[in-house]
Amino acid sequence: MRILLQFPEGLKQQALKHAKALELEGNEVFISASPTFGACDLALDEMRTIKADKLVHFGHCEFKSAGSDVEYVEYRVDAPLDIIKDTLSKLDGFRTVGLITTIQHIHQLEEIRAFYEKSGKRVLIGKPYGPAKMDGQVLGCDAGSAASVDKDVDAFVYFGGGMFHPVGALLATTKPFFVADPFINKFERIDGQREVYVKKRKGKVLGALGAKRFAIMLSTKSGQFNIGLAKTLKGRIEEVGLDAEIVVANTFDFDSLNNMMEFDAFVNTACPRIAIDDSDRLRKPLLGADELAEVLRMKGELESAKKR
């Protein structure tokens, strides 16, 4: 069997080990060197080009049905739980805690829950809304495990490394939000950052009010391809007498986008986090679909006011 292996950046150092193991079983193995940004980002073009029988994607939980020729291999990490024992003093006054993490630590949530409950806390683990598969699991594009219990908790605790996943959950919730990072042994409260993102969002919307020409970003990644949304947004923009074109790429290069100087603003239909995390990489406003709707609404109100 001809197999293509795909690894996220943090696991690429294990590629040779897995390739050799599969070759010993009689398989012909190739390794994708392309970056991958999650379970939604499969190396299907490489797979088709080399005529592989199977793509094995490491590190993520199955995003959605990808066919029998794609296999997901989850990667679990037993992170030290010492940091959790040090969180109780900072959680004093928060009776009910919402607990979330990534697929790498999902198997540790029950032990963390048991510790908090033994310490007198009530713990809620919510259910995802979209592509995430397990209770308590968050993705960059699915913070349902947090948002679904937001009204019922006093605070949230995210267990895991880095800030990408907790920021997504932070913006989908309203309560005090703590991050317990077991790899740097740090426990911090981050909900003060919500206001920063709110201000950035307002700045982008106001910055796009004068835009007349919009570039709608359409990704060809398997789990981010939203041509229906892209065409709908193009139609809405053109309905109000403005110009819009759809620009297509697998992975968007922001230097290349910055060379498209005829456009006054960009609209993202790919990973929703692009409009949140990468807006500073473009010289022009980079909007999400909801922000575009706000821009068009405000433009309409301004035009109506002029006619009065």
- What 8-state DSSP symbol labels residue 21? H
Residue 222: pLDDT band with limits 50, 70, 90: confident
Residue 64: pLDDT band with limits 50, 70, 90: low
Q: Is the pLDDT of residue 299 over 80?
A: yes
At 133 the pLDDT is: 87
CA dist., res. 65 & res. 127, Å (int): 19
Buried b (16+ CB within 10 A) or exposed e, 42-81: bbbebbeeeebebbbbbbbbebeebeeebebebbeeebee
Percent of the chain predicted with pLDDT > 90: 86
At 131 the pLDDT is: 87
Residue 82: pLDDT band with limits 50, 70, 90: very high
Q: Is the pLDDT of residue 65 over 60?
A: no
Which position has the higher pLDDT, 132 or 101? 101
Q: What is the 3-state secondary structure (H, E, C) of 248-261?
A: EECCCCHHHHHCCC
Residue ranges covered by each domain of the chain: 2-73, 82-189, 198-307
Q: Which one-letter amino acid corresponds to residue 4?
A: L
At 62 the pLDDT is: 83
What kind of architecture, by CATH, is found in domain 198-307?
3-Layer(aba) Sandwich (3.40)
Q: Is the pLDDT of residue 53 over 70?
A: yes
Q: How many residues does the chain have?
A: 308
At 212 the pLDDT is: 96
pLDDT in tens, 130-155: 888 899 999 988 999 999 999 999 99
Percent of the chain predicted with pLDDT > 70: 98
Average pLDDT, the chain: 94
Fold category of 82-189 in CATH: Rossmann fold (3.40.50)
For residue 126, what are the β-bridge partners?
none
**Quick one: the chain helix, strand, coil %, rounded to 5?**
40, 20, 40
Query: In terms of CATH, what superfamily is 2-73?
Result: Diphthamide synthesis DPH1/DPH2 domain 1 (3.40.50.11840)
CA dist., res. 256 & res. 234, Å (int): 21
- C-alpha pair distances (Å), 147 with each of 26, 80, 168: 47, 26, 10
At 308 the pLDDT is: 66
For 248, the token pair is: 């297509």
CA dihedral 198, 200, 203, 208 (to 10 degrees): -110
